[in-house]
Structure 1
Amino acid sequence: MGQDYYAILGLTRSVIDADIKKAYRKLALKYHPDKNHELGAPEKFKHIAEAYDVLSDPRKKAVYDQFGEEGLKNGVPEGSGESGAWTDGYTFHGDANKVFREFFGGDNPFNEFFDGLDGDLSMGFGGLAGRGRKKQDPCIERDLTLSLEEIFHGCTKKMKISRRVMNEDGHTSSIRDKILTITVKKGWREGTRITFPKEGDQGPNNIPADIVFIVRDKMHPRFQSEENNLVFTAKVLLGKALTGCSVAVPTLDGRLLNIPINDIIRPGYEKVVPGEGMPISKNPTSKGNLIIRFDIEFPRQLTPEKKTLIKEALLS
């Protein structure tokens, strides 16, 4: 037989959310291992935390009420069940102190709560003398992958999120979708962070997390970005590397640059074309540079006659 979460908290199935909070508050303070040194108190404290973790969450509670602990932990069919899809099974994370901290607020609320406390452990929903504080959930980070063209020109991205939202009754919640709009500015660098405050899951005892999108560069077929510069690698034959050539570079805005190379292209040589890189985000009318690097293609073989000509040209 599975655990009876209601019995663990001393409740009946007709309870409301406020009753669940009150019961957890009383029992968590009573059986906290720092206060209660009786044998079995730590295990009791953990069971209390798991029971609250389930019953305080409307989705988990609904599954538990209908299917019991087995259905909650093994998963149940979604919707009508005809699609063959099952919900993910629930597993308690095992950290009873984490539940305690999140409920009361602060990293170490326990010492404060027990100062001068004895006898009856019941109290109002605000905690002792209003010390129960909501704590904001850790921020949620997501990648925002952008092409160089999107960063070069700027664009608008629509990001769909699903989050838990409290219903008007203040006790239950539901999952709703929301569209977050990101206006991508010209020249944003990889690592730029865009924050949407408090757009995470809502709950009765938490401050919703901030959602943070972090810009990541999408691999480009022609260019690499280095800060505000664009790097283009040109393949040239050894003969042209020694005698001069012209490099054609298709730009991100549809132009074709023909860059003459009059210097000898030696290992490590770079050609810098000013103002043909990425826009600078703080001043989009200015741009970084285009840096042309070279991949010199050597001949795979030479005839004796060509070897002689090269020796005469290079060694004379």
Structure 2
Amino acid sequence: MGIDYYNILKVNRNATDDDLRKAYRRLAMIWHPDKNPNDKIQAEAKFKQLSEAYDVLSDPQKRQIYDAYGEEALKSGQFPPHSSASHGGASASHQRPRNNGNPNVSSKFSSFRFNPRDAEDIYAEMFGDGGSSSNGRAKSTGRWYNRDGYFRTSNGAGERNREHQKKGPPVEKNLSCSLEDLYKGAKKKMKISRTITEASGRVRTVEEILTIDLKPGWKKGTKITFPEKGNQGPGFIPSDLVFVVDEKPHPVYKRDGNDLIVNHEVTLLESLTGKNLELTTLDGRILLIPLNDIVKPGEEVVVQNQGMPISKEPNKRGNLIVKLDVKYPARLTDEQKVDLRRVLGGSS
């Protein structure tokens, strides 16, 4: 049976990042080898186990693979078919949901390689201590950190670590959306990759999947911010990651604010005798628009409350504007001309 990382950290399977940090900090302070001089061998084994559990569960990609396939598959990089996937880190009564029968889970991580972080690096990141509790501080990227979260610069001036760090500029990414998505609303999953500089100075890459909940009626230029999900440089708080909504061109409809515009051509006969115009809306409904009056070239028909949703007023929509054009015949025979004069009241 594989290792149960959740049990090692004494957290449940829905533990948040904050839960994991608190659990690790509490247990690492108990089991650090320097805290157990009389039983360093057992303490070192327990400390490494705690660090490995935190490393896996705090990394979204590692945690997702572990939850779906277990510890052995995580470390080997060999993922079994979804039908036989099992969680090697927990008994049946404690297993998390696996891949729900999704055959794409294993292929999604086909290039994954398990690279565990050093236990002392994790400890230094949490406590600014490089693992040596005898002196209470460790040198990292030009600063001396102590366990209280302070750092001392080369000129000896002490200051609060995070409170005095600067935040990098926001990182903006384009979020391309179809008009249907912006009409109905949608959930988009975006895989991101960012770099983090640890207290030890080591730079590591973190991959994560973010869920963006598109609201009906959002417009081009709408910004969705994920705080501190951007890159982190030494001495900086992680940047914010900002997705900016962009709108893909639609083959039928054009958006104008909250209104939708569609161009439609009718024949000369239809312009004179009328017709029922049939349109398929962005949510798949069939809309019938009767044209009972004579249609002139360039005329517009406004259908109220059939445009885009208004995001700040969920029960309201813009208008649907149908711009009509009349298609004239390329030529008429003499007989057709005579018939038209007769019908329209002209002289022969």
TM-score, length basis structure 1: 0.55
Is the 2:308–2:317 contact (alpha carbons within 8 Å) kept by the matching residues of 1? Answer: yes
Match of 2:182 in 1: 151
Q: How many matched pairs?
A: 192
1:194 aligns with 2:224: yes
Alpha carbons of 1:220 and 1:127: their partners in 2 closer, same or farther (altered >3 Å)?
A: farther
Task: Specify which of 193, 200, 213 is matched with residue 162 of structure 1.
Answer: 193
Q: Distance in 2 between matches of 1:206 and 1:153?
A: 39
1:239 match: secondary structure:
helix
Please state how far the C-alpha of 1:252 moved relative to its aligned partner: 2.1
Q: Distance in 2 between matches of 1:197 and 1:276?
A: 36
Alpha carbons of 1:128 and 1:265: their partners in 2 closer, same or farther (altered >3 Å)?
A: farther
Alpha carbons of 1:134 and 1:273: their partners in 2 closer, same or farther (altered >3 Å)?
A: same
Q: Distance in 1 between matches of 2:344 and 2:172?
A: 58
Alpha carbons of 1:269 and 1:128: their partners in 2 closer, same or farther (altered >3 Å)?
A: farther
2:335 match: secondary structure:
helix
Letter in 2 for 1:157: K
1:296 aligns with 2:326: yes
Alpha carbons of 1:234 and 1:173: their partners in 2 closer, same or farther (altered >3 Å)?
A: same
1:241 match: secondary structure:
helix
Letter in 2 for 1:221: P
Alpha carbons of 1:256 and 1:197: their partners in 2 closer, same or farther (altered >3 Å)?
A: same
Is the 2:298–2:325 contact (alpha carbons within 8 Å) kept by the matching residues of 1? Answer: no
Please state how far the C-alpha of 1:177 moved relative to its aligned partner: 0.5
Long gaps (5+) in structure 1:
1-122
1:36-62 CA deviation, whole Å, 9 max, x = no partner? xxxxxxxxxxxxxxxxxxxxxxxxxxx
Match of 1:56 in 2: none
Alpha carbons of 1:125 and 1:226: their partners in 2 closer, same or farther (altered >3 Å)?
A: farther
Task: Output the aligned Cα RMSD.
Answer: 2.6
Task: Specify which of 303, 308, 312 is matched with residue 338 of structure 2.
Answer: 308
Alpha carbons of 1:267 and 1:125: their partners in 2 closer, same or farther (altered >3 Å)?
A: farther
Please state how far the C-alpha of 1:307 moved relative to its aligned partner: 2.5
Letter in 1 for 2:153: G
2:307 match: secondary structure:
coil
2:182 match: secondary structure:
helix
1:152-172 CA deviation, whole Å, 9 max, x = no partner? 221111111110013353x11
Please state how far the C-alpha of 1:309 moved relative to its aligned partner: 3.5
1:172-224 CA deviation, whole Å, 9 max, x = no partner? 11011112221111111111111122221111133332221111112223211
Match of 1:138 in 2: 169
Q: Distance in 1 between matches of 2:155 and 2:319?
A: 59
Match of 2:242 in 1: 212
1:202 match: secondary structure:
coil
Please state how far the C-alpha of 1:124 moved relative to its aligned partner: 3.3
Q: Distance in 1 between matches of 2:170 and 2:326?
A: 48
Letter in 2 for 1:124: T
1:215 match: secondary structure:
strand
Letter in 2 for 1:255: R
Letter in 1 for 2:301: K
Task: Specify which of 139, 150, 153 is matched with residue 124 of structure 1.
Answer: 153
1:287-312 CA deviation, whole Å, 9 max, x = no partner? 11111112322211111122234345
Match of 1:272 in 2: 302
Match of 1:285 in 2: 315
Q: Distance in 1 between matches of 2:342 and 2:168?
A: 75
Long gaps (5+) in structure 2:
1-151
1:261 aligns with 2:291: yes
Identical pairs, percent: 43
TM-score, length basis structure 2: 0.50
1:259-303 CA deviation, whole Å, 9 max, x = no partner? 111232223211111111111101222211111112322211111
Alpha carbons of 1:204 and 1:313: their partners in 2 closer, same or farther (altered >3 Å)?
A: same
Task: Specify which of 232, 257, 260 is matched with residue 230 of structure 1.
Answer: 260
1:246 aligns with 2:269: no
1:191 match: secondary structure:
coil
Alpha carbons of 1:240 and 1:175: their partners in 2 closer, same or farther (altered >3 Å)?
A: same
Is the 2:224–2:244 contact (alpha carbons within 8 Å) kept by the matching residues of 1? Answer: yes
Q: Distance in 1 between matches of 2:278 and 2:155?
A: 70
Q: Distance in 2 between matches of 1:212 and 1:180?
A: 12
